[in-house]
Amino acid sequence: MDFALDLLPEAVLFGLLLGCFYAAVSVGLSVSFGLLDVPHIAHPAFMVLGSYCTWLLGVRFGLDPIVAGIVLMPAFFLFGMAVYRFYYETFEKRGADVGVRGLAFFFGVAFIVEVGLILVFGVDQRMVEAPYIGKSLEFGEMRIPMRMIVAFVTALVLTGLLALYLSRTFTGRAIKAVAQDEGALRLMGVNPVRIKQWAFGLATAVTAAAGAMLIVVGPVEPSLDRVYIGRTFCVVVLAGLGSMSGTLVAGLILGISESIVLTFFGASWAPAVAFGLLLVVLGVRPQGLFGR
């Protein structure tokens, strides 16, 4: 392998944009798994579902993918709330054997979503069209695809808004509090279950938008959720469970690593980077960079 170093700056820049995208894709999981402790293996599957819904809206109504993503958010919010309610009533409340059953449940759900998508849409890849897809911007020697910039900006806005929400609004802070001390929250007259439900709904809504970004960044297929299990959990674990700012940093680290591997070692190794990085983090520093 020649390390053609002049490819490096472009790889890093691409990695930064990609990394920010990964952060936005993972921030929903940071809430549902990092803060709420839900074993949400189906998070990437919901995202891919969002991608396909985005595609549908584009094909049926000619909606721009980012717009479609925003349109989907309320529906996914309600969907997320329903899923959490069901999960809570069925598993968390009863207490017994939550671990295996909860994991198996979400695994089954992810699987059903994936196979459902295959049955409805087939295994072929789906793409969207938009004015910014297909063009590139030139920065001196480097060429950056415009769709990456759009995804980058959207991701930044989305993550920023969520972080603001969590730290400035009452509900947002209650969500952070419920992760730390449910009892205290109850004493304040706040129902922790409703907060968690709201949080999970929010996380799912954000994930829908992430799905829209996903299909902007590249074509999607039903099995994409498996690779993203590695990427999202890698970011969330590397960040440290529950840390929002950590999610951005971790996303960037992953994005740049993947971009470098992609440039120098080829596309087939890129998905393994996230999983490899995850295994390393779990072995060396499982509490992540900013873990609580």
Partner 1 sequence: MKFWLSAALALVLAVLAAFTIKNEYFFFAAYVVLQFVILATAWNILGGYAGYVNFGTGAFFGIGAYTGVLLIKWLALPLGLQILAAALVGGALGFAIGLLTLRLRGIFFSIATVAVAIILQTVILNWRYLGGATGVQILRPEVTPPFENYIKMLFCVAALLAVIAVAVARYIESSWVGRGLRAIRDSEEAAECTGVPTLRLKLLACVVSGALMSAAGAPLAMYQSFVEPESAFSLNYSVSALAMPIIGGTGHWLGPVLGALLLGTVQQLVTVTISSELNVLVVGVLLVLFVVAAPEGIVGLFRRFFLRR
Partner 2 sequence: MSPLLKVERLSKHFGGFTALDGVSIEVKQGERFGLIGPNGSGKTTLINCVSGSLRNEAGSILFDGDEISRLPAYRRTRRGIARSFQIPRPFKSMSVLENLVVPLQFVGHLKNAEAHRQALELLQRIGLADKAQTPSSRLSQVELRKLELARAMASRPRLLISDEAMAGLSGSEVDEVLEILFALNKDGITIIMIEHIMQAVMRFSQRIVCLDAGKIICEGTPKEIVQNGDVQKAYLGA
Which residues of the shown chain bind partner 2 in the complex (CB under 8 A)? 96, 291-292
Between CA 17 and CA 237 the distance in angstroms is: 20
Around 50, how many Cα atoms within 13 Å sit in the side-chain half-sphere? 38
3 state DSSP class of 194: helix
Q: Binding to partner 1 by residue 103, rule CB under 8 A?
A: yes
Q: Binding to partner 1 by residue 115, rule CB under 8 A?
A: yes
User: What is the longest distance spanned by two Cα atoms in the chain?
Assistant: 63
Backbone angles phi, psi at 145, to 5 degrees: -60, 140
Beta carbon nearer to partner 1, 7 or 272: 272
Beta carbon nearer to partner 1, 147 or 231: 231
Percent composition of the chain: helix, strand, coil (DSSP 3-state, to 5): 75, 5, 20
Q: At what angle do helices 244-265 and 270-284 cross, to 10 degrees?
A: 130
Q: Binding to partner 1 by residue 101, rule CB under 8 A?
A: yes
Q: Position 194: which residue type? A: R
Q: Which of 9, 74, 99, 134 binds partner 1 (CB under 8 A)?
A: 99
Between CA 19 and CA 238 the distance in angstroms is: 13
Q: Binding to partner 1 by residue 85, rule CB under 8 A?
A: no
Q: Which residue stretch of 49-57, 64-72, 147-155, 222-230 sits at the interface with partner 1 (rule: CB under 8 A)? A: 222-230
Q: How far is the CB of 288 from partner 1 (least distance, A)?
A: 12
- Torsion 182-184-187-188 (CA) sign: negative
Q: Which residue stretch of 48-56, 137-145, 166-174, 271-279 sits at the interface with partner 1 (rule: CB under 8 A)? A: 271-279
Q: Among partner 1, partner 2, none, what binds residue 41 when CB lies within 5 to 8 Å by partner kind? A: partner 1
Find tokens 């004015």 and name the residue.
131
**Which H/E stretch holds residue 100?**
helix 98-121
Beta carbon nearer to partner 2, 276 or 291: 291
Q: Among partner 2, partner 1, none, what binds residue 272 when CB lies within 5 to 8 Å by partner kind? A: partner 1
Q: How far is the CB of 246 from partner 2 (least distance, A)?
A: 12
Which residues contact partner 1 by CB under 8 A? 39, 41, 90, 97, 99-101, 103-105, 107-109, 111-112, 115-116, 118-119, 223, 226-227, 229-230, 233, 237, 268-269, 271-272, 275-276, 278-279, 282-283, 286
